[in-house]
Structure formats: structure tokens, C-alpha cells
Structure 1
Amino acid sequence: MKKKSFLLTTILIMTLSMFLAACGGGTEKEEGGAADGGDAGADKPQFISIVTGGTGGTYYPLGGAFASIISDETGIETNAETSGASAENMTTLKNGDAEIAFTQTDIASYAKDGKLMFEGNAVENVQAIGTLYPETIQIVTTAGAGITSVEDLKGKKVSIGAPGSGTAANAEQILEVHGMTLDDIEKQDLSFDESTAGIQDGTIDAAFVTAGTPTGAVEGLSATEDVVIVPIAQDKIDALIEKYPFYIQDEVPSGTYGLTDAVSTVAVSAMLAVKSDLSEDVVYDITKAIFENLDQVTHAKGKIISAEKAVKGTGIEIHPGAQKYYDEKGFK
């Protein structure tokens, strides 16, 4: 009986040892695979964050839609967060406090090159997923303000966007080609929502808003005020594009915000940037998820976003994972 009991105990111990060895071997394999650049899943994050912009802009609703798509399609829990937009977002990626960011192509270029607001503080750990849509520079005011040209902004209280946003650089460059500087206006650093609220209550006269049209904050203003979008003259547009080639000619269409005529202006492009240390497989899955589920994006800009256009004009290197997806689709 004792011999039988000893034999049974020995068998149980051997079985348990084999089980533990198998489990241990599996763990080593996963760890080794990740270290060797394999795709055993060890480098797939459980959670990622997308930094967007203010709630009154275009980044935030699009970011929310993208976060839902990524969560559903990849199994990575994804959250969209409000922020000060482009420039702040690039710094957030640099600091490792988010994985994906909305930004303007010009700001991404400044960040990688360490220019303008990034002088001495270049952002080297980012690459592009792709461009999304034109970001129209809208100089917003109301009929009662009496502002009909960029030159009329002189001496006025003008918001140039939230601190850290790319809108400030756009405002400075547009003023520059008109022979003006930020010293010629009473500069205010307000988010889009704060800007339109300030225009409505009379505490500011106008605001630069760089966002896809229609922009939610400006639409809200148009519900109670006769919105005016200040035009940029063709010769100034030409001068701006010549000096800063990342600009393109654009317009705010008639009917937008109740406008009776289209208004000439310029635009940069919105894009998605990503931390370069995310694996090729993860970024491939994210890119595929977004561009193959755009029918789930209810914002108007969803209709003009496409993978075919995404490879153009990013201003910075495309992440290998995103490039793999574009190569499969034959987009160059």
C-alpha cells in the first residue's frame, strides 16, 4: 500500500514538473520572440492613447471615431484625449505620454527638424501614419466687427489659437506676408471654443482657426452671429506658398457657416503621427483598421480621407508598419 502511494505521488510530481516546464518554456519563447523582432504578441500594447485637440475642433471627434475603430479591430483599448493640438501633441509623443497624435504636416516637419517652436527641442521619436485632409486656415470674425481684410486685424484683439497649437505659426506667417507681426495685434492665446465664445461676447474681435471645415466651434458661433471669414488675396497666397511650400491654396465653400460666397484662403494638411518604437505589426494593424473602416466615421471629413492620399505630403518619414499597408495596396 505504501509502495502504491509512493508511486502515485512520484507520478503526480513528475506530471507537475512537466507542466511547469512547458509553461516556463512558453514564456521564454514569447520573450525571445519579441526580443528577436518576432511577432509573438509580446510587443502588442494593451492600451494606447490618441491626443487630438480641443472639443470644438475637428481632431477630437475624428480621434474618438478612430479610437473606437482601433479598439474594435485590433483589440487594443484605445482612448482619444483632448489637448492643445499640433505642437503640444508632438511634445507629448516625445515624452512618451501618448502613442498616436493628430498634428499639422508643417508642425510635424518643424518638430523633426528642431525648427521654430521646437528649436533646441527636436522630436526624433516620431514617424507618420499618413495625411488625412486639408486643414483650412480660417480667420473668423463677425459682420459687426468691420474686419474685411487681413490688414484690418491691425490693433484688434485676435486669438491665434491655444498655447502649443500649430495655429499660432500659421497666424504669424500669414501676418508676415501682409507686412505685419504679432506685435501689430493684441494677441490672445485661446482654444477654438474660447475664441468663438470671445467673439460672441465681444471680448475679442477675430480668431485664427486652423481646422477642417466645417469646424464645430465656428458652426456654433454661426447659429447666433453673422460669421465672416476674412479672405486672403491671391498675391498673398502666392507669396505664402512660395516661402512656405507646405501650404496649399484652399477655400471655405459657400454655404458653410451661412456664407453666401466661397472665401479664398490657404491650408496645411492634418496627419496622424505615431511613436516610432511601436512595432511594425501594431502600426500596420492600426493603419489597416482606420483606412478600411472609414464608413464608421460620421464626421464630414471622413468622406475625403483615403489611404491613397495618405502617403502624400507627410513631411516626415512614414512608419514601416503604415508603409507596409500602403505597399500592399499599391499606393505611392
Structure 2
Amino acid sequence: MGRKILALLTVVLLAAVFVAGCGGSNTGGQSSGGQKFINIATGGTSGTYYPLGGALAEIWNKNIQGANATAQSTGASVANVNLLKDGKAEVIFVQNDIAYYTYNGTEMFKDNKYEDIRGLATLYPETIQIVTRADKGIKAIADLKGKKVAVGAAGSGTETNARQILEAAGITYNDIQVQYLSFSEAANNLKDGNIDAAFVTAGYPTAAIQDIAAQHKIVLIPLDDKTVETLISKYPFYTRTVIPANTYSGQTEDVVAVSVKAMLAVSAKYDEDMAYQMVKTMYENQERLKAAHKNGELITPDTGKEGMSIPLHPGAEKYFKEIGK
């Protein structure tokens, strides 16, 4: 009988050790094999976040002892915040405006505030491009009144960008025919002439806009100085941006726009040393980021805190202080 009890106790003890070894996500905890699992929440496979996330996974796996990082395709910023909050991702790609809403409990996070979100680094500008076809006769943002305008999917980051920019220009949704369309739906409808203009939040040049420009002469609608100043004074996470001439076929002049910033974020509970190593090795392997996507060349420590809209994680703060930034 004593042997049976001893055997049972041994099984229970081994099970307890196994469960303890599979420690929680979001803290940088190790698995039973000493590995540090890093699930990177990115975006759609055709976007910018996904290839950069894959490059980061490769960098961290090669340069951080025990790292086991993988990039996951997701619904991007808003979905990623929820994955982080639920402990289903360790690192997320997110727009700095969405991170701001998350931390402060505003906009789409009005009833879902998450104060434990922390920044690792800002990466590159995501420009709000307002595109139309030349045959629509729209040359300024005021010309959008009465037009069918795609503002992004309902509740998306793009939709919030569109509403805030229109507000700064003195235009409400009552002044336009609002079309809640996703990125791809907006591009297809503009190509087919079913809508008059579309808001697109993405790094330029954007493949979908290039595709429209290959079939129709396009116009990027510029923002006037007053609209830009009004917008930035109310929403400081925006920055003034100039889209250079010839970014798209037929675009012969520079166009003034505004941008938000793509950034990386983690939980406040995430391990400080791991966060430090992730930021450090990311910047030490910029060639791999550039190989993954053109915007990789914009990911530098000199701009890593520009537009940071939430508190920095202590691990990231340690890195930037170390390099004098």
C-alpha cells in the first residue's frame, strides 16, 4: 500500500512541476524547456506589419538566448490590443493613436481601458492618404461635402483618423455620404467609380493606391495648414507629413498630409531584461528589417521615441537612456 501512495505522490509532484514550468504569457516567463515564447501580433499578410513581424521573430530567435518568437497574422491595431490585454500576445504592432486611446480609455476603448500597455519603440509613419480619381473633380478637402467617402471599416483606426481630420476641417459625417468600407473594399469601389474618395492609413507608397493609379489618374487631396494645425493641437499624436511628388503615377506635386506612427507595445508586466534585449537587437539588425520591407529603413533609434503616445516600458527606457536618447 505504501508503494502505491508513494507512486501517486510522485505523479502529483511531476504534474505540479510541469504546470509551473509552463508559466504565464505576457511576463516574458520561461517554458519548461527554458524557452521564452514571444507571440508577435502583426496585421494582414499583405500589409507592412506582417513581414516586419517575421523579421523581428528571426532577429530575436537568433540573438536572444532561449527566444522562441513567432509572427501571427491578425486584424492589426485594435485586435492586437485585445490580444495583449488577454495575454494571447507578448508583443504587438499598433498605431500610436490606438495605443493612446487604449491607455486613456477613449474612442473605441471608451469602455475597455487598458492602462498596462507600454511602449517599446515607435517605428515609421503611417500616413493618412485621402485619394480620389481625377475625373471626380475633387481638389480640396472642402470639396468632399456631399460626396460618397469611404472612411474605413466601422470602429477601425482609419475611421477614427478620417473623422478627426474632417472635424479639423469643419466637416461632419452629416456633410458627406459616409461609406464604412475596409481598405480593400474602398480601393475596389474607387476603381469602379462607386465612391468619390477614400481615406487610407498606411505607409506610402501603398500598393492598393498604386493599383488604382495604374488604371485611373488619381489625386491625393492635400490638407491646408489651418486644418493640420487644428488637428495636431487637439490630437498631438499626429505629425505633419509631405508625400513627395511622383510617389504615385501621375502625382506631379508634393502633397501635405498627416501621419500617425506604427509602434511596438508590450504589457507593463513584461520582463524588463527581455524588453531591453528585444529593442537592442532590433536596432542592431536593421539590414534584416530593410530586407523585409522598405519601411524597415525608417526604424532607427534616433526616431524610436518620436510620437510615443504611452509610457515607455522600463526595458525600453533603459536602452534609450544607454544610447543617450
Residue 132 of structure 1, CA deviation: 0.9
**2:241 is equivalent to residue 250 of structure 1:** yes
- After TM superposition, the structure 1 stretch with the greater mean CA deviation from structure 2, 236-245 or 110-119, is 236-245
Number of positions where the alignment pairs a residue of Structure 1 with one of Structure 2: 302
CA-atom RMSD, angstroms?
2.8
1:144 corresponds in structure 2 to 135
Aligned mate of 1:70, from 50, 60, 75:
60
**2:202 is equivalent to residue 211 of structure 1:** yes
Distance in 2 of aligned mates of 1:76 and 1:242: 42
**Amino acid in structure 1 at the alignment position of 2:307:** G
1:5 corresponds in structure 2 to none
2:216 corresponds in structure 1 to 225
Residue 88 of structure 1, CA deviation: 3.0
Distance in 1 of aligned mates of 2:118 and 2:189: 36
Q: Classify the secondary structure of the residue corresponding to 1:256.
A: coil
Distance in 2 of aligned mates of 1:198 and 1:70: 40
**2:120 is equivalent to residue 126 of structure 1:** no
Give the alignment's TM-score, normalised by structure 2.
0.83
Distance in 1 of aligned mates of 2:49 and 2:283: 16
Distance in 1 of aligned mates of 2:259 and 2:43: 17
**2:184 is equivalent to residue 190 of structure 1:** no
Residue 55 of structure 1, CA deviation: 4.3
Distance in 2 of aligned mates of 1:60 and 1:295: 17
1:87 corresponds in structure 2 to 78
Overall identity of the aligned pairs, in %: 46
Unmatched segments (≥5 aa) in structure 1: 1-19
Distance in 2 of aligned mates of 1:132 and 1:177: 26
Give the alignment's TM-score, normalised by structure 1.
0.81
Residue 322 of structure 1, CA deviation: 1.7
Closer, same or farther: CA 156–98 of 1 in aligned 2, 3 Å: farther
Aligned mate of 2:264, from 252, 268, 272:
272
CA contact (8 A) 2:100 2:310 kept: yes
**Amino acid in structure 2 at the alignment position of 1:324:** K
**2:295 is equivalent to residue 304 of structure 1:** no
Distance in 2 of aligned mates of 1:69 and 1:51: 16
**Amino acid in structure 2 at the alignment position of 1:301:** N
Q: Report the structure number with the largest CA radius of gyration.
A: 1
Q: After superposition, where does 1:158-197 map in structure 2 within 5 Å?
A: 158-197=149-188
**Amino acid in structure 1 at the alignment position of 2:306:** K
Aligned mate of 1:294, from 283, 286, 289:
286
Closer, same or farther: CA 320–227 of 1 in aligned 2, 3 Å: same
Residue 330 of structure 1, CA deviation: 2.3
Distance in 2 of aligned mates of 1:251 and 1:40: 43
Distance in 2 of aligned mates of 1:79 and 1:40: 18
1:260 corresponds in structure 2 to 252
Distance in 2 of aligned mates of 1:66 and 1:164: 28
Unmatched segments (≥5 aa) in structure 2: 1-9
Closer, same or farther: CA 72–220 of 1 in aligned 2, 3 Å: farther
Distance in 2 of aligned mates of 1:146 and 1:175: 18
